[in-house]
A and B are shown apart, each in its own frame.
Chain A
């Protein structure tokens, strides 16, 4: 009995990381973008485009790295469009993000038509890290995953160091907090915003590719099922901090995985309720997070969503 319980916990935790990883990539991308002052609401569409491009290229070439690279390029292209609209043309960032979501959803459906139901010859498989994978519970959870999950660990650490220990990181934050200040000190606000919007889009694209190449290797239209939106909510929950984003992503992944497994156990709760859980959880977390940030002087980058123009 104890062993079954243990196995259940292990499997839920392990699935939490896997389910959380695509959200984590997208959320990290968005943290980067928003820290530079650009609100990019197109994550849902960008993830879909990343998922379909990654899948198409992986099916055609049989090369996973090429697939992930294609997803990053596709995500970067959509983000570049967002940057052009919002930074150069100063279009309202919300409007641009929402239209690009619609655009990404439509384009991904169109591009993916020929590969619906096509099995992929390659996909990411768990690779146990020697020694570390044998730590009880945590080993299975964290070190018996695929390469993209390991890459996300490195990414989180790198981003944290970048934000808080490097000059480009400091400059990026200044652009999001006070573009006038950054500009007056010779930091190129426009180039900075372009760069981090595009890099953010690339990470979001990789998050999409994780869905179609690792989490559920296949292409199904609208396979993100709201994960892009959850990632946006997660950025607020994480208070724009990459470390907290990890916590949030795995929490969401856990809720997702738990629902699925409770269903498998044959519980009498209707499956719709279980499927609803991540979304209900998102709303609850947002209420919690915003109520908190009103009390503390922490929160969004001060210039988030505001186009910059020299007076």
Chain B
């Protein structure tokens, strides 16, 4: 997993090392003064949670410092404090040796600290230049947009961040939007740049471009704090790494002292289980056959263009791609939530094109939707009610027009036990469960209906390693029992670990399908960016037409 994406970047990584060495040489002479940012004993409480527990953290000038930890370890909270969005309950912050009070993002920016959030803070209807100048104090009143556009163009090209200052944000790709965010921070003179999981939304190629940019900024003497939970990224770009776990700083290491295994055990606090178990069962009959399906997206534009795909019993077919390239729409047409304009969808030979969701559920299709608390479950209803949402129409839960409360409870109790959902009580609303537990419950509900086909959209997004592992086990187990699984994911490592075949989507098309033994991160990346199709064609077996 690690080697796949790090081999191609050895040149960049080498340049980074040289710069880091130069920076370190300076640091050794006068260690304390070289800290651009020093956070001491930072504590932050939220109702019921101690998010940051006396964390100390230092950043040197001209280094890339990775902040590594699982979801909920307190990385984002700590950085939200440094960027002025949250106020700490205890501790102090020093910037260039001077104590500062970062009461608001404005203070942080004035101190030279800028944060690029995971969910971009960009006004979609504004132009790039308008977004860049937003919130600045000069010019005070009258705006000369032409002059600002020129400035933005000059600054962005000097760092190799290509952007069109007059483009509206909603017209830009996610990678371009991220560049705008970085330019925005550079424009206001940030010399400490915080990036919150910046590669989560990028193709491998875009991520590499980002790393090149980071190296260039580092050489210009700026510091970068890089929040991530991906070990290979730490090994690739970081000079130093601080590991957080359960709201505490566990360790700070130089990259040369770190290994992926060491970092993983520091991050999780135990030895991490190896690859996902389970050998692949023999592929059975074709369960889902999608032929030349086209559908409209929410904006009324074509978001699926003649997509053809097959999923066989006992097979996991992964769908890779950058968000917004038709994956969600694909899941929705299969589950009856979106109208098919052209083409047909067959389930075990029966036509389910444009059937209602209920009919499709009755045909044996399970669905783990992208928005698990919005589409998948009802946050304010109890565990029992959520678990019977799809089974309340039939026995044993249904008794004529009534619901058999005891049967429903038993059903819920069974699932909670079997899938080890941690819940304070069956009558508690789902919204009080953690992300991992609510996802386990959703998966449990779908599997308890014994589906022939399971459509899982980003099933482990936002979950910590433990919960994600549990979900992966269940998916493998289902596959081995002969369930056909369509797994839509942005996490290439997840697809590499689980999928028997991977189809890559770009702009509503399937760019190509690769078998497990053809796995090639380079090619997948190019297909995700739309710059390659599977013109070699050898991956498209079993009638997968590539259009």
A residues engaging B (CB < 8 A)? 165-168, 170-171, 173-174, 177-178, 180-187, 295, 297, 302, 310
Distance from A297 Cβ to chain B, minimum over Cβ atoms (Å): 7
Q: A-B contact count, CB below 8 Å? A: 74
B170 to A167, Cβ gap below 8 A?
no
For B131, the chain A residues whose CB sits under 8 A away are 181
In B95-123, the 8 Å CB interface with A consists of: 104-107, 109, 115, 117, 119, 121-123
Known contacts A178-B121, A302-B125; is A167 also within 8 Å of B141 by CB?
yes
Distance from B447 Cβ to chain A, minimum over Cβ atoms (Å): 33
B134 to A181, Cβ gap below 8 A?
yes
Known contacts A177-B124, A178-B121, A302-B125; is A185 also within 8 Å of B134 by CB?
yes
B residues engaging A (CB < 8 A)? 83-85, 104-107, 109, 115, 117, 119, 121-126, 130-131, 133-136, 139-143, 170, 299-300
A174 to B105, Cβ gap below 8 A?
no
Distance from B180 Cβ to chain A, minimum over Cβ atoms (Å): 11
A-B contact pairs, 27 of them (CB 8 A): A166-B143, A167-B133, A167-B136, A167-B142, A170-B133, A170-B134, A173-B123, A174-B123, A174-B126, A174-B135, A177-B125, A177-B126, A178-B122, A180-B119, A181-B122, A181-B123, A183-B85, A183-B105, A184-B105, A184-B121, A185-B109, A185-B135, A185-B136, A186-B109, A297-B170, A302-B124, A302-B125
Closest to B116 in A: A184
Distance from A266 Cβ to chain B, minimum over Cβ atoms (Å): 50
For B170, the chain A residues whose CB sits under 8 A away are 297
Closest 10 CB pairs of A and B: A186-B106, A185-B135, A181-B121, A184-B121, A177-B123, A178-B123, A186-B105, A174-B123, A186-B135, A184-B105
For A171, the chain B residues whose CB sits under 8 A away are 134-135
Closest to A303 in B: B123
Distance from A237 Cβ to chain B, minimum over Cβ atoms (Å): 19
Q: A166-B141, A168-B141 are in contact. List 20 more A-B contacts (CB 8 A).
A: A167-B142, A170-B130, A171-B134, A173-B123, A174-B135, A177-B124, A178-B121, A178-B122, A181-B131, A182-B135, A184-B85, A184-B115, A184-B121, A185-B105, A186-B84, A186-B109, A186-B135, A187-B135, A295-B300, A310-B85
Distance from A171 Cβ to chain B, minimum over Cβ atoms (Å): 7
> Cα distance A290–B135 when bound, in Å?
32
Known contacts A174-B126, A185-B135, A186-B109; is A165 also within 8 Å of B104 by CB?
no
For A167, the chain B residues whose CB sits under 8 A away are 133, 136, 139-143
> Cα distance A171–B123 when bound, in Å?
11
> Cα distance A174–B135 when bound, in Å?
9
> Cα distance A181–B192 when bound, in Å?
19
> Cα distance A186–B185 when bound, in Å?
13
For A173, the chain B residues whose CB sits under 8 A away are 123, 126
Distance from B411 Cβ to chain A, minimum over Cβ atoms (Å): 35
Distance from B104 Cβ to chain A, minimum over Cβ atoms (Å): 6
A165 to B126, Cβ gap below 8 A?
no
Closest to A175 in B: B123
For B85, the chain A residues whose CB sits under 8 A away are 183-184, 310
Distance from B371 Cβ to chain A, minimum over Cβ atoms (Å): 17
Residue with the greatest number of chain B CB neighbours at <10 A, chosen from A177, A178, A184, A187: A184
> Cα distance A302–B122 when bound, in Å?
12
For B135, the chain A residues whose CB sits under 8 A away are 171, 174, 182, 185-187
Distance from A138 Cβ to chain B, minimum over Cβ atoms (Å): 31
> Cα distance A297–B135 when bound, in Å?
25
Distance from B61 Cβ to chain A, minimum over Cβ atoms (Å): 24
> Cα distance A153–B123 when bound, in Å?
30
A165 to B134, Cβ gap below 8 A?
no
For A180, the chain B residues whose CB sits under 8 A away are 119, 121
B124 to A174, Cβ gap below 8 A?
no
Contact partner, B143, options A170, A177, A310, Cβ 8 Å: A170
B126 to A182, Cβ gap below 8 A?
no
> Cα distance A171–B117 when bound, in Å?
20
Closest to A177 in B: B123
For A187, the chain B residues whose CB sits under 8 A away are 134-135
> Cα distance A290–B117 when bound, in Å?
34
> Cα distance A214–B308 when bound, in Å?
69
Residue with the greatest number of chain A CB neighbours at <10 A, chosen from B122, B125, B133, B143: B125
> Cα distance A181–B119 when bound, in Å?
10
Distance from A183 Cβ to chain B, minimum over Cβ atoms (Å): 7
> Cα distance A74–B135 when bound, in Å?
32
Closest to B80 in A: A311
Residue with the greatest number of chain B CB neighbours at <10 A, chosen from A183, A295, A302: A183
Residue with the greatest number of chain B CB neighbours at <10 A, chosen from A181, A183, A187: A181
Closest to B168 in A: A297
Distance from B105 Cβ to chain A, minimum over Cβ atoms (Å): 5
For B107, the chain A residues whose CB sits under 8 A away are 186
For B123, the chain A residues whose CB sits under 8 A away are 173-174, 177-178, 181-182
